[in-house]
Structures are given as C-alpha cells and as structure tokens.
Amino acid sequence: MFRKLLFIVLVYSMDVMGFNNLKFKKVIPHGHVDENCLGLLNSSNITNMERCEFYNCFEKRFPCGKEYWIMNWGYKYCRRYADENFAKNFTKIGQSLLNHVNKCLPKYFERNYRSKRPVICKKLYNQAFEAQTNCYLDIQKDFCTAFKDNKMLFVKVMDNSDLLNFESIAMIKKATENCSPRIDFFSLFSGN
C-alpha cells in the first residue's frame, strides 16, 4: 500500500513541478479543410498506418507543435499500434483493440479539424486523453480482456515519460476501473 501511495505522490509532484507544463497556446486554422484528410477517417480501403496520417493533417491545419498531444501522442502511438511487427505480438482480441483505437480516436478530432475557430492546444491535449478513454470504454469488455492479456505489451509500446504522465495514468486507471476481474493498475510497474 505504501509503495502505491508513494508512486502516486511522485507522479503527481512530477506533474505539478512542470513535467507537464504545456502552455495555453492558441492557434488559428491554417488553410482549408482537406477532403483527402477527412477521407482518411472514413475510408475502409486504407491501412491503419495510412489512417495515422490524419494527425499530420490536423497538425498542418492547427500547428500546436510536437510537444502537444496530436503529434507527441496521437500520431506517435497511432503508428506504433499500426506497426504490424508490434501488433502481431498481441492476442487476437488485443489486435482488435489496437484496430479499434486507431479507427476510433482520429474521428474524435474531425469536428475540430473542420472548425474555423482557433484551437487551444492544452485544452485539445486534455480532451484527447478523454477521447482515448472513451475509445477504450466503447468496447469495455474487449478492452478489459485485451489489456489483461497484453498489458506488458501496452507498457512496452509507451515511452517511459508517457507512462508516467498524469493524464496517461488517469486514462488507464479510468479505463480499467470497471474490469472484472479487477485489473491491478500498479501491476503494470511490477511486471505481474
């Protein structure tokens, strides 16, 4: 119990001390909405790796920068999840989860992409973690099974700094809280 409490305090203090100190940057849309980019969201004739290019489209239209969610999390992990050499290590249900997330998550940004209004990058960053949680919760039962059976692969795919990110921890904790049998979130760090 003490180990868990110490871990939570450590991660929280890292967050407060500025390890997630993104500025409230506001960007206006650049250029017009690219219909080819929107096609990446809805086409069933493309690979997940190709679908990941939507994040580049979004960043081009709303250039928040590489430290914000779209490129630092969305694009990066979309490509890792879509990498066939990585995905083949997952169980069938784990592969199904990876496919679901790579189709579900970019769709959350369609409305913002179409918008003519400025985007506040930090707000988008927070909304993105909520959207990812929602993608997991869309298929809660499959998520629980896939996460339990493949949890070390999920840990392996993540950069250490992202794994210890406060929003990331909150997302994983929320997505796993209704799993039955219960998934011990802290077992991610012990390898059990």
- The predicted pLDDT at position 60 comes to 97
What pTM was computed for the model? 0.83
Residue 58 in contact with residue 113, Cβ under 8 Å? yes
Residue with token string 């990812």: 132
Average pLDDT over residues 161-172: 84
What is the rounded CA–CA span in Å between residue 72 and residue 83?
A: 17
pLDDT tens per residue, range 45-80: 999 999 999 999 999 999 999 989 999 999 999 999
Q: How many CB atoms are located within 10 Å of the residue 182 CB?
A: 11
The helix (run of H) or strand (run of E) holding residue 120 is: strand 119-120
Phi, psi (degrees; rounded to nearest 5) at 26: -120, 125
Average pLDDT over residues 164-183: 85
pLDDT tens per residue, range 81-98: 999 999 999 999 999 999
Q: Which one is predicted more confidently, 163 or 137? A: 137
Q: Which one is predicted more confidently, 15 or 118? A: 118
